[in-house]
Amino acid sequence: MSIVTSVPVEIVNPDIPYDKLGIYMSISPVWGEKSIGGVASLRVVPFRVLPDGTIDKREDKARDLVIDNVFEEYAKDPVFAETMNQIWKGLQEYITHKQL
């Protein structure tokens, strides 16, 4: 059974795709007594920019990825390994630049 609304949802600019991604990323150490590991998470949220400059995002279409063991994933997935190499290289350069 459905009920008809008196205020229907308006679809604004249906011809403009959600062709961009907002990215939330976290890489964190996992400390052991004699070892260090890592976890990573990634959340991507599709968005688009409307003609008036308004950002229209779709949190309901967000996708999540959680990697419980960064080093294990690094060893078995070459694309992940290359991605992490680029991230770590960029972070190292920035840390060196900022003298952290």
Query: Is the pLDDT confidence value at 1 over 80?
Result: no
Task: Compute the mean pLDDT over every residue in the chain, rounded to the nearest whole number.
Answer: 95
Beta bridge partners of 48: 56
Residues forming beta bridges with residue 27, ordered by sequence position: 40
| pLDDT-based confidence at residue 11 (cuts at 50, 70, 90) | confident
| Residue 71: count of CB within 10 angstroms of its CB | 13
* Gyration radius from the chain CA atoms: 20
